[in-house]
Amino acid sequence: MRSYFIPLLFVTCLFADTAFAQIKVKAKATPDAPTISRHIYGHFAEHLGRCIYDGFYVGEDSNIPNKEGVRLDVVEALKEMKIPNLRWPGGCFADTYHWEDGIGPKKDRPSMLNIWWGNVKEDNSFGTHEFLNMCELLETEPYLSANVGSGTSQEFADWIKYTTHPAGSSPMPELRAKNGRSEPWKVKFWGIGNEAWGCGGNMRPAYYADVYRRFATFSTNWNNADGLVRIASGASSSDYNWTEVLMKNIPKNLIEAIALHHYSVIDWGAKGSAKDFTEAQYFTIMQRALMMEELIQKHVAIMDKYDPDKKVDLYVDEWGGWYEVEPGTNGAFLYQQNTMRDAMLAATTLNIFNNHADRVKMANIAQAINVLQAVILTNEEKLLLTPTYHIFKMYNVHHDAQLIPLAFESPLYIYNNKVLPAVSASASRDKVGNVHFSLVNIDSKKSQAIEIDVAALNLESVTGEILTSDKLQDHNTFENPNKVQTKKFDAAVLANGMLRLDIPPFSVIVLEGTK
């Protein structure tokens, strides 16, 4: 068996403005270092506001270039970002959605009332075929959320057969062929309900555990030879009891993953503006974002208690910043702008996920287009890429790369006698041997000086990319879509086995070291 030598990084940061933070690298054989799953970089698309309609889907008759109604500029942007998976149809919408209403000729599909998001009419013109065909166009993996709140286990089992079973094997594939698709799609990920503690049914954890067991039992054959990933509706933020009850009461042969939802919100009663915010509000949002570290540690500790062999994965399948909607827009559509603050939120959170790659195997930022912390905003024929989009594109170097563990003491970001760690980091080695460091400085005013001993890595060259701007409130608009964008970073100096750089305030830098 080949041994892999993965550098273990120790970081000690000094607080004098003129001193370098010492990051000492030591080569250490760690062949069991986990792989950072590309699915950590997943996305979420709910029938909410303008995420599906006017976002992904404009209809076949639109003047906007499309394929079967799906915007081609969206496809191009998401493929360039290397989107690994997409969760659909919800969210809260999933537990009122009946998939059979969204198949067959569109003129015959019944409409429904979207009670969760504005009581608007849903005509079901974007259904199972449209979504799964779009995923093939995107070259991404679908993640389907099943209706547990108002659906049945039979309905769920039929959806699995309709989408994944081969032609001629049962009545469901025959129905699929009648609707224009003879070959099955590849659908591996199946959520069994969404937020069962809330909009998914306001269930108690013990009750949901029993409901989950029933749905999971009928989801596949007795030994799950189909290889489906069945995902339990997990906890909201720090509801550790929910995780405890589910892990204790769901047999491990019925579950492959458990979810976790956590939004970064200033206050649910006063969320604050997405783009006109104070430093105090920025600090609070970063505090909420960095809570993800504690949440993962504590939920994983419970999972380890009942699953020491780590058979069950943790999926953070809803996360991101949540603010007040943009003035003049529908309050139920959750449309918000996206600033450098959101870039800081995304980058630090992704670093946390990377560093917990042994358990965190999927995450889905909410949501992909025009809703909450979107990577894309659209306005009729116009499209812009947000600062969050650029973070996901910068970080795609970590997809399926081997984690390089980091241990460090960060300098402090101090505001109004409160403190947060200023520096966030993660690192990995890709399949061809290149090493990548993603470094974040959330301090609103101070640069951070970093010195990395890379002698053990035998690096011959280092290149970099940076995302930063003049103000935390800076964002892209349809009039100025490139105000915030990545730039080449060539201020990292490699000499005598040492790598030195300064990270400006509220900036993200990704470095690539090659031999």
The mean pLDDT of 215-240, rounded to a whole number, is 91
Whole-number pLDDT of residue 223? 76
User: Does residue 394 sit in the same domain as residue 409?
Assistant: no
Q: What is the pLDDT of residues 14-61, one digit of tens each?
A: 333 334 545 443 334 366 889 999 999 999 999 999 999 999 999 999
pLDDT tens digits, residue range 168-190?
Answer: 888 999 999 999 999 999 999 99
Within 10 A of 402 (CB to CB), how many other CB atoms are there? 21
Among candidate residues 377, 399, 421, the one where a domain is terminated? 399
Please say if the pLDDT value at position 114 is more than 70.
yes
What's the pLDDT score for residue 450? Answer: 87
Q: What is the mean predicted confidence (pLDDT) over 426-438?
A: 92
Q: In terms of Cα–Cα distance, which of 495, 509, 397 is closest to 451? A: 495
For residue 160, pLDDT over 50 is answered with yes
> Tens digit of pLDDT for each residue in 357-408?
999 999 999 999 999 999 999 999 999 999 999 999 999 999 999 998 877 7
Same structural domain, 96 and 180 = yes
pLDDT of residue 30: 64
pLDDT at 7: 33
Last residue of a domain, one of 399, 421, 442: 399
Active site residue 318: yes
Cα dihedral 208/213/219/222 (nearest 10): 170
Q: What pLDDT, in 10s, does the model give residues 48-71?
A: 999 999 999 999 999 999 999 999
Max Cα distance, the chain (Å): 72
**341 and 479 co-located in one domain:** no
Domain count, the chain: 2
d(CA 251, CA 255): 7
Over 50: is that where the pLDDT of 9 sits? no
* 64, 15: one domain: no
User: Which of 365, 399, 433 marks a domain boundary?
Assistant: 399
Minimal CA–CA distance to 207: which of 245, 234, 251?
Answer: 245
- Other Cβ atoms closer than 10 A to 418: 12
Residues 6+ apart with CB under 8 A from 325: 331, 333, 334, 335, 336
What percentage of the chain carries pLDDT values higher than 70?
Answer: 94
What's the Cα-to-Cα distance from 94 to each of 89, 145, 192, 200, rounded to whole Å? 5, 6, 10, 8
CA dist., res. 39 & res. 36, Å (int): 8
206/223 same-domain check = yes
* pLDDT higher than threshold 60 for residue 13: no
Tokens, residue 6: 């993965």
**Same domain membership, residue 267 and residue 234:** yes
Are 10 and 77 part of one and the same domain?
A: no
Q: CA-CA distance, 309 to 139, in Å (whole number)? A: 32
In the set 318, 324, 460, 512, the catalytic residue is: 318
Domain that holds residue 310: 37-399
User: Is the same domain home to 376 and 452?
Assistant: no
In this structure, are 433 and 475 located in the same domain?
yes
452 pLDDT more than 50: yes
Catalytic residue among 141, 195, 256, 465: 195
CATH number for the domain spanning 52: value is: 3.20.20.80
Q: What percent of the chain has pLDDT over 90?
A: 86
Residue holding tokens 């002698």?
Answer: 455
* Cβ count near 241 (within 10 Å): 11
Is 195 tagged catalytic?
Answer: yes
Q: To the nearest whole number, what is the mean pLDDT of the chain?
A: 92
Confidence (pLDDT) at 31: 67
CATH of the domain at 426: 2.60.40.1180
| Claim to verify: residue 134 and residue 166 sit in the same structural domain | yes
Whether 320 and 413 map to the same domain: the answer is: no
Q: Is 130 exposed, middle or buried (0-12, 13-18, 19+ CB in 10 A)?
A: buried
pLDDT class of 498 with cuts at 50, 70, 90: confident
Supply the pTM of this predicted model: 0.94
Q: Is it the case that residue 98 has pLDDT exceeding 50?
A: yes
Question: Stretch 228-233: mean pLDDT, rounded?
Answer: 98
DSSP assignment letter at 325: P
Are 20 and 61 contained in the same domain?
no
pLDDT tens-digit map of 280-315: 999 999 999 999 999 999 999 999 999 999 999 999
pLDDT at 73 over 50: yes
